[in-house]
Amino acid sequence: MSDRPRPEAMSVSPLRTYLGEPCLFEVVLDDPATEALSARERRLFVGAINAHTLTTPELELTVHLYDPFDGYTPRTTDDRTFDGRSRLYRRRRATVRVRSTAPATPAPVVDARQLTLVGSATRHVMLSSDATAEARPEFLAPGDLRGKVLRRLRVAAPLLYDELRDLELLRHGGPIRHRVERVHDTTFFAPGTAFESARMNPAGAVAGDAPRAVLIGMHWFEMGGAERWAFETVRLVREAGLLPVVLTSRDSHHEQITRSELDGAVLLPLSEPTSLSQTPGSEPILRALLENLDVRGVVVHHSQWLYDRLPFLKRSRPDLPVVDSTHIIEYRGGGYPVSSARAADFIDTHHVISPALASWMTEVQGVPASKVEMAPLAGLTVDSARDAAFRPRNGERRFVVAFVGRLARQKAPEVFIEAAARIHKVRPDVRFILHGHGELNQWVTDLVRAAGLEDVLERRDGAVPVATTLDEADLLVITSHNEGLTLTTLEAVAHGTPVVSTDVGAQANLIPAEALAPRNVHRAVRGIADIVVRYVGDEDARRRLWESERSAERELVAHPSGRDWFEELVSTW
């Protein structure tokens, strides 16, 4: 890597556009083949080049783009994208040459392997096809016998698989119940690692006329409750007249990267692992951003990559306001709320969405109450129901029980399917809607077929509005293994539809005990089935359930909403 000094601060904005997207580089030599990229592919490709040019802003880079390799998520910035030593890079699609418009002080190199990688002037990027992104296949590498056996077990005995997984999770529960150790500057580098002696080198000064920006760290560009809120904060940042710089690090097809909230944002969709190319303390990407953009704030939405780098950001810019937003305490070690608590010394405001999580932050983790902001997400996707009314059942049609959510482990669609099978034996007149898509799509299809529910359970995906399903639903069922306070619960209550749920996270803040089932999957199936059957034949009880949930929601929305709170906050930046 070059050791030449940084050029004088630019007097013009580092922002450019490529393929219609904002970027921090200029194209020296383009390739006509890039014009055939879809909107999703364009944003991924431009985002990958953003990351690479920020990593080595002193180099002119040749970037090769490759056709998808079936089943794999995009490879945008991981270590193999620097040397191309992977079977994924077979079919070259296009080649462009680019130069950074965001010069920065050279990032220190603390490892010879890193120097070999980032010193190369060539990068290799592979995307996934839009068809693969929409199908969301569960990928199994050739010869993955263990994975195939586990998949068969999950179809034949899905609840047993869940029970075995819960047993494994028991040993990770300590941080949920006890205060975790805070991260300090001195503990930023793990003792005994190759980088133990590395020093954190803060970023340099920023040019006075740099564009005002906000750095936002997201989990990925997919759809979920946390992501919907993250997308909304991007929109609010842009409407406040600031440039959103949105970073993700979770490998994904990033199906939602084309959302309108991301229009005009600088995107950085990172792929892992980056242990060789990105070493602790050097932080070339963040360094270049801080030196070329007037970063007015940092927002962390379930982004471990950004949590890990908050010490660098605060060391570089001590007065930089840092906000994190957490939704759900994970059973596996606490998840992002624990990451938030560990990094509390570098966070100015902890935004939480439920009273239960606010109490956990202050009472268990010892975060000062003055730093915890409880602002629920009511009204994020629907108006918070000032004039909401119970939706009486249309007696001329069959009773409808609905599931709405991502087809992911957390949401436990297998519990809904098993409960539906149990209900169907008692009330064959009940119809079911399973509305969602995700990485478990094929597994869910197999489970529905194995349960013999194909004639009574309708599958829906994002092509159908959630409101349409709630229009038809007489009960919404939340079967999650783990939750915060679900947006779908708030949506359903605002829509006039009562909700039955597993007793997880903060769901009890809204749902009365008589409509809660135990979290344990076998007991959850029995409990949900019994609760649903009880309401199928009792319209008055169904109305009373909704009225109870509506009353609890009114208490919740007495707090400022997340949207109102964040809009006020970002206006001060």
Residue ranges of domains in the chain: 16-107+116-129, 177-186+210-382+561-570, 400-556
Contact in structure between 20 and 46 (CB atoms under 8 Å): no
* pLDDT at 141 exceeding the cut of 50: no
pLDDT tens string 222-280: 988 789 999 999 999 999 999 999 999 999 999 999 999 999 999 999 999 988 888 76
Q: What gap in Å lies between CA 163 and CA 161, rounded to an integer?
A: 5
CB atoms within 10 A of CB 15: 17
Q: 36-50, 152-166, 262-276, 553-567: which range is least confident on average?
A: 152-166
pLDDT average, residue stretch 515-523: 91
* pLDDT at 191 exceeding the cut of 60: no
Most confident of 214-223, 329-338, 391-400: 214-223
Q: What gap in Å lies between CA 43 and CA 254, rounded to an integer?
A: 10
What pLDDT score does 5 carry? 39
pLDDT tens string 45-79: 999 999 999 999 999 999 999 999 877 899 999 99
Least Cα distance to 126 among 227, 277, 285, 269 occurs for 269
What pLDDT score does 150 carry? 58
Mean pLDDT, the chain, whole residue set:
87
* pLDDT at 148 exceeding the cut of 80: no
Q: What gap in Å lies between CA 488 and CA 477, rounded to an integer?
A: 10
Instruction: Name residue 476's beta-bridge partners.
Output: 402, 499
Q: What is the CATH number of domain 177-186+210-382+561-570?
A: 3.40.50.2000
pLDDT tens string 285-322: 999 999 999 999 999 999 999 999 999 999 999 999 99
pLDDT average, residue stretch 377-389: 66
Does domain 400-556 match CATH 3.40.50.2000? yes
pLDDT grade for 9, boundaries at 50, 70 and 90: very low
Q: 84-88, 136-140, 433-437, 464-468: which range is least confident on average?
A: 136-140
Q: What is the pTM of this model?
A: 0.84
> Looking at residue 178, what DSSP letter applies?
S
Most confident of 28-32, 446-450, 459-463: 28-32
Token pair of 498 as six digits: 């009562």
Least Cα distance to 231 among 547, 488, 563, 571 occurs for 563
What pLDDT score does 355 carry? 87
* Angle at 30 (CA atoms; ends 28, 34), nearest 5 degrees: 150
Backbone angles phi, psi at 119, to 5 degrees: -75, -15
What pLDDT score does 442 carry? 86
Per DSSP, the three-state class of 105 is: coil
What pLDDT score does 136 carry? 54
Backbone angles phi, psi at 503, to 5 degrees: -85, 80
* pLDDT at 495 exceeding the cut of 60: yes
pLDDT tens string 76-131: 999 999 999 999 999 999 999 999 999 999 888 777 888 888 999 999 999 998 88
> E strands of 14-171, at which residues?
16-18, 21-23, 25-29, 60-66, 92-100, 122-126
Backbone angles phi, psi at 435, to 5 degrees: -110, 110
Token pair of 68 as six digits: 């998808």
CB atoms within 10 A of CB 91: 10
> Looking at residue 75, what DSSP letter applies?
B
Q: What percent of the chain has pLDDT over 70?
A: 86
Backbone angles phi, psi at 276, to 5 degrees: -90, -45
What pLDDT score does 159 carry? 63
Residue 562: partners with Cβ closer than 8 Å, 6 or more residues away = 229, 232, 325, 351, 353, 375, 376, 377, 380
Q: 29-33, 51-55, 521-525: which range is least confident on average?
A: 521-525
Q: What gap in Å lies between CA 132 and CA 388, rounded to an integer?
A: 39
Asked, colleague to colleague, whether 177-186+210-382+561-570 and 400-556 share their fold, the answer is yes
pLDDT grade for 160, boundaries at 50, 70 and 90: low
Per DSSP, the three-state class of 35 is: helix
